[in-house]
């Protein structure tokens, strides 16, 4: 218990150097700008910045990326409030009440509430990260090939189920496509080259960073340039810093949304947008004034912003302890950590226990920077908001080319970026979610290796996959999730569950 506190203290002190603080400041400002600019997302920002942090020391590099990630998720609330379009999709729920508040002349109040509730959400997430991660990490040490196979499958399936917008089928398809991408190149068990079609560059497989830069960079540029409508920025005339009573009147909502966000963050590949929508929905159900939701409810805005920011910290729990990315941006963070020689997973707490607490310290510093900048630099951010996208997107594309080229310095990765950009854009337009695709690419190798290694250990007997207790539980959850996504089954189960309630209501 106290070891943890001491390590956390050391983690914070570790970054309180001029270099550390300088990195926090510029990375947070950059993250905020990325979040504010419509069409740029947190994942894209983190993926593009991996290149820039390539030559930095590992801890400073991850600190920079984390500040950009958190800054972008928070910065998007500005766009949501003032323009009525979300910066990153994570802030979509914040538009519902944030923009009506701005139209009532309370833009400053809305921004202040969003800022403080973002901070509180992150703090709730950090609290759970510091408590759950060490415990989970210790439990994960007992996981074998069987459990890791199921965990990888669980990640892809649950992410597909929860992010598939009009049908879970599309989520599953995206997940399978991602897994198939991971199959390209040399497999790890027998060193056999799969699906390389005689192209030497494919032998090493598809790197995550160029793929992500394509799917989140180029694809975003294409969809952002597609839109023709120009939005109108709401004016800000009132005070930005909220009073204590304005915030703590809703302490129940804050805690509830923080816990929901944490829970969503722990589930692999289910990102900030789901966290924000589910805590918004929960707040609406529990509220005394649900009729105000969507018309400028302060409670709704607080719920949405607390929820999505709690996801960011909580997403680090599976990312660090199991190497299962908690969100799409966390997948890029895993790739960045690997580049810098940090290996997330159950061994992290054994090999490098200080790192977990350094991550907690990074999140604390980034949150603090967000709070300070968010409440003080309002005018500057409105200027950023009015940058025309025609002028911005061209520069972003050049950065995409640089970002995908720089890590391994081959043009092949730039072509990978182009292909993923075009395919990613088409899939996005057809409402296929991107998170399961990313998760598939990250987890494909883990899934493949552990399945076949498990089979090798038992000489082809699959029973341990179903009889070991943890394996059995995860397997059961996967089966239930898949069954519930079949409309006929879920309808029947729901009618069974609600029959008694419905009968009471009618009588």
418 binds other proteins (CB under 8 A): yes
- Cα–Cα distances in angstroms (integers) from residue 396 to residues 48, 159, 392, 393, in the given order: 9, 28, 6, 5
484 binds other proteins (CB under 8 A): no
459 binds other proteins (CB under 8 A): yes
Closer by beta carbon to other proteins, 289 or else 494: 494
Of the residues 231, 397, 419, 478, which one makes contact with other proteins according to CB under 8 A: 397
Tokens representing 276 are 């924000």
Q: x/- contact string, 26-65, with other proteins (CB under 8 A)?
A: -------------------------xx-xx----------
Question: Are residues 402 and 51 in contact, defined by beta-carbon separation less than 8 angstroms?
Answer: yes
How much helix, strand and coil, in percent to the nearest 5, is found in the chain? 80, 0, 20
Closer by beta carbon to other proteins, 19 or else 167: 167
Report the nearest approach of other proteins to the CB of residue 390 (Å). Answer: 4
Within 107-189, strands assigned E span: 185-186
- Cα–Cα distances in angstroms (integers) from residue 482 to residues 27, 221, 266, 295, in the given order: 40, 34, 19, 36
Closer by beta carbon to other proteins, 168 or else 326: 168
Q: Which of residues 125-144 bind other proteins (CB under 8 A)?
A: none
- H/E element, 186: strand 185-186
Question: Are residues 14 and 140 in contact, defined by beta-carbon separation less than 8 angstroms?
Answer: no
Report the nearest approach of other proteins to the CB of residue 489 (Å). Answer: 12
Of the residues 414, 419, 470, 477, which one makes contact with other proteins according to CB under 8 A: 414
Beta bridge partners of 185: 194
401 binds other proteins (CB under 8 A): yes
Contact stretch for other proteins (CB under 8 A) within 2-10, 29-37, 75-83, 223-231: 223-231
- H/E element, 185: strand 185-186
Q: Which of residues 419-458 bind other proteins (CB under 8 A)?
A: 421-422, 425-426, 430-431, 447-448, 451-453, 455-456
Closer by beta carbon to other proteins, 401 or else 472: 401
10 binds other proteins (CB under 8 A): no
Query: For residue 356, how many C-alpha atoms fall within 13 Å in the half-sphere facing its CB?
Result: 37
Alpha helices in 16-57 (DSSP H): 18-36, 42-52
- Cα–Cα distances in angstroms (integers) from residue 400 to residues 39, 336, 403, 421, in the given order: 14, 16, 5, 10
183 binds other proteins (CB under 8 A): yes
Q: Which of residues 306-325 bind other proteins (CB under 8 A)?
A: none
In angstroms, the CA 141 to CA 136 distance is 9
Report the nearest approach of other proteins to the CB of residue 161 (Å). Answer: 11
Closer by beta carbon to other proteins, 245 or else 386: 386
503 binds other proteins (CB under 8 A): no
SS3 193: strand
- H/E element, 194: strand 193-194
Of the residues 16, 19, 227, 251, which one makes contact with other proteins according to CB under 8 A: 227
Report the nearest approach of other proteins to the CB of residue 195 (Å). Answer: 7
**Alpha-carbon Rg for the chain in angstroms:** 22
Q: Which residue has the tokens 């994960």?
A: 140
What residues make contact with other proteins under the rule CB under 8 A? 51-52, 54-55, 165-167, 169-170, 172-173, 176-177, 179-180, 183, 187, 189-190, 192, 194-195, 218, 221-222, 225-228, 230, 388, 390-391, 393-395, 397-399, 401-402, 405-406, 409, 411, 414-415, 418, 421-422, 425-426, 430-431, 447-448, 451-453, 455-456, 459-460, 487
């Amino acid at each position: 218990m106290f070891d943890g506190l001491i390590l956390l203290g050391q983690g914070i002190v570790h970054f309180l150097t001029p270099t550390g603080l300088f990195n926090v400041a510029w990375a947070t400002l950059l993250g905020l700008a990325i979040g504010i600019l419509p069409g740029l997302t947190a994942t894209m920002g983190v993926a593009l910045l991996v290149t820039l942090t390539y030559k930095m020391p590992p801890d400073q590099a991850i600190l920079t990326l984390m500040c950009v990630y958190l800054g972008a998720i928070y910065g998007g609330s500005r766009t949501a409030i003032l323009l009525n379009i979300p910066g990153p999709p994570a802030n979509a729920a914040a538009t519902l009440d944030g923009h009506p508040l701005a139209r009532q002349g309370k833009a400053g109040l809305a921004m202040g509430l969003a800022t403080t509730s973002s901070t509180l959400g992150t703090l709730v997430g950090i609290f759970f990260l510091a408590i759950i991660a060490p415990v989970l990490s210790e439990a994960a040490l007992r996981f074998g090939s069987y459990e890791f196979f199921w965990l990888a499958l669980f990640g892809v399936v649950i992410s597909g189920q929860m992010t598939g917008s009009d049908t879970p089928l599309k989520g599953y398809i995206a997940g399978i496509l991602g897994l198939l991408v991971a199959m390209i190149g040399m497999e790890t068990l027998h060193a056999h080259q799969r699906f390389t079609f005689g192209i030497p560059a494919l032998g090493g497989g598809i790197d995550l960073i160029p793929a992500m830069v394509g799917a989140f960079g180029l694809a975003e540029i294409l969809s952002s340039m597609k839109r023709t409508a120009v939005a109108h920025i709401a004016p800000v005339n009132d005070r930005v810093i909220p009073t204590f009573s304005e915030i703590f009147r809703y302490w129940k909502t804050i805690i509830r949304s923080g816990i929901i966000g944490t829970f969503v963050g722990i589930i692999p590949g289910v990102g900030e947008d789901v966290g924000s929508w589910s805590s918004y929905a929960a707040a609406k159900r529990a509220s005394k004034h649900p009729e105000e939701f969507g018309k400028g409810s302060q409670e709704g805005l607080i719920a949405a912003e607390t929820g999505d920011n709690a996801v960011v910290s909580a997403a680090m729990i599976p990312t660090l302890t199991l190497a299962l990315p908690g969100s799409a941006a966390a997948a890029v963070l895993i790739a960045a950590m690997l580049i810098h020689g940090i290996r997330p997973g159950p061994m992290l707490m054994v090999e490098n226990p200080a790192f977990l607490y350094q991550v907690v310290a990074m999140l604390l510093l980034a949150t603090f920077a967000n709070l300070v900048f968010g409440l003080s630099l309002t005018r500057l951010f409105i200027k950023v908001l009015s940058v025309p996208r025609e002028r911005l997107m061209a520069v972003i594309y050049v950065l995409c080319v640089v970002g995908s080229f720089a890590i391994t310095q081959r043009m092949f990765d730039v072509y990978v970026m182009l292909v993923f950009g075009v395919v990613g854009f088409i899939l996005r337009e057809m409402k296929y979610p991107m998170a399961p695709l990313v998760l598939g690419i990250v987890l494909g190798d883990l899934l493949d290796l552990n399945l076949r290694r498990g089979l090798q250990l038992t000489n082809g007997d699959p029973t341990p996959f179903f009889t070991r207790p943890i394996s059995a539980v995860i397997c059961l959850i996967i089966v239930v999730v898949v069954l519930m996504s079949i409309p006929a089954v879920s309808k029947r189960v729901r009618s069974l569950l609600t029959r008694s309630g419905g009968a009471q209501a009618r009588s």
